[in-house]
């Protein structure tokens, strides 16, 4: 009789364990599916750019998707800029990469920076506090930069000068780096590199003027040197124009004895 009573008392606990170990893992995908359906009923999926209805949340509608010039091979292995035609060989360098080789090893981007959805999405993230855009844009970056991320030890966003950070309230490069980190599993650290020089706007400057403007702009703090030395680092930013900013940042990391520095951006001005 006593054994029967003890067995009855233990039954609820055993049922809970059985549910947690067997039934719950099976039910979780179903529950998540119901959650997505409920969320879609309350907040119907909409295009990230134009807000037209879409089938999947966090995506573009067909019209906006068609306007994006995604960068795919063949492209320059150093700069990531697309070639106009398939030259039938791998590992090719563009004339620009040969004439003006960058400080960093390789650059990759999701798309060309042109008028339309790409420019609009980045401007919304950067100037309109659309922070929710960082996650899907970062996921696209993780796919575009998969070959860089597979060997990477650390993601480092291009930092803003403290004065600019106060004005902007957030750093869009860091928001993207955190999203890339979540999608790839590579850790991100926004404190490894700091901006010590409040540089003037780069708009309208020539390549030499941009390089001069950014000379000495970045530094690895002494206490962060151990995070850099001997490590493969991927610099993260929203847009690459001439590459002057990324070159200056890569130079600072290489001076701190980084093993290699690659670059991952969302958009590339080709």
Reported as a single tens digit per residue, the pLDDT across 188-226 is: 999 999 998 776 666 666 666 666 767 778 999 999 999
197 located within any domain: yes
Output the pLDDT for position 202: 61
27 located within any domain: no
The CATH number of the domain where 254 resides is what? 3.40.50
User: Does residue 100 surpass a pLDDT of 80?
Assistant: yes
User: Does residue 118 surpass a pLDDT of 80?
Assistant: yes
pTM of the shown model: 0.81
Reported as a single tens digit per residue, the pLDDT across 178-191 is: 999 999 999 999 99
Q: How many domains does the chain have?
A: 1
Reported as a single tens digit per residue, the pLDDT across 13-36 is: 554 444 444 554 555 555 454 444
Average pLDDT over every residue of 110-129: 93
- Residue with tokens 């960093």, as numbered in its chain: 104
142 located within any domain: yes
101 located within any domain: yes
207 located within any domain: yes
**Segments forming the whole domain that contains residue 235:** 69-268
Distance CA 102, CA 96 (A): 10
Output the pLDDT for position 84: 81
151 located within any domain: yes
**Strands 218-219 vs 194-195: parallel, antiparallel or unpaired:** antiparallel
13 located within any domain: no
- What three-state secondary structure class fits 142? helix
221 located within any domain: yes
């Amino acid at each position: 009789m006593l054994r029967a009573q003890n067995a009855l008392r233990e039954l609820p606990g055993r049922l809970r364990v059985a549910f947690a170990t067997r039934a719950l893992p099976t039910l979780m995908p179903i529950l998540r599916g119901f959650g997505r359906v409920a969320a879609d009923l309350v907040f119907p999926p909409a295009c990230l750019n134009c807000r037209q209805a879409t089938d999947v949340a966090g995506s573009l509608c067909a019209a906006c998707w068609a306007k994006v010039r995604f960068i795919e091979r063949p492209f320059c292995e150093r700069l990531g800029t697309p070639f106009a035609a398939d030259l039938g060989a791998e590992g090719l360098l563009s004339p620009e990469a040969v004439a003006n080789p960058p400080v960093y090893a390789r650059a990759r981007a999701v798309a060309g920076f042109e008028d339309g959805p790409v420019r609009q999405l980045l401007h919304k993230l950067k100037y309109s506090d659309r922070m929710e855009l960082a996650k899907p844009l970062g996921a696209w970056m993780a796919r575009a930069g998969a070959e860089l991320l597979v060997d990477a030890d650390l993601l480092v966003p291009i930092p803003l000068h403290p004065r600019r950070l106060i004005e902007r309230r957030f750093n869009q490069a860091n928001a993207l780096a955190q999203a890339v980190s979540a999608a790839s599993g590579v850790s991100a650290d926004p404190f490894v590199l700091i901006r010590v020089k409040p540089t003037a706007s780069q708009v309208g400057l020539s390549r030499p003027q941009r390089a001069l403007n950014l000379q000495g702009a970045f530094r690895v703090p002494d206490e962060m040197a151990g995070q850099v030395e001997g490590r493969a680092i991927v610099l993260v930013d929203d847009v690459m124009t001439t590459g002057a900013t990324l070159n200056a940042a890569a130079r600072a990391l290489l001076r701190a004895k980084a093993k290699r520095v690659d670059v991952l951006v969302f958009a590339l001005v080709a």
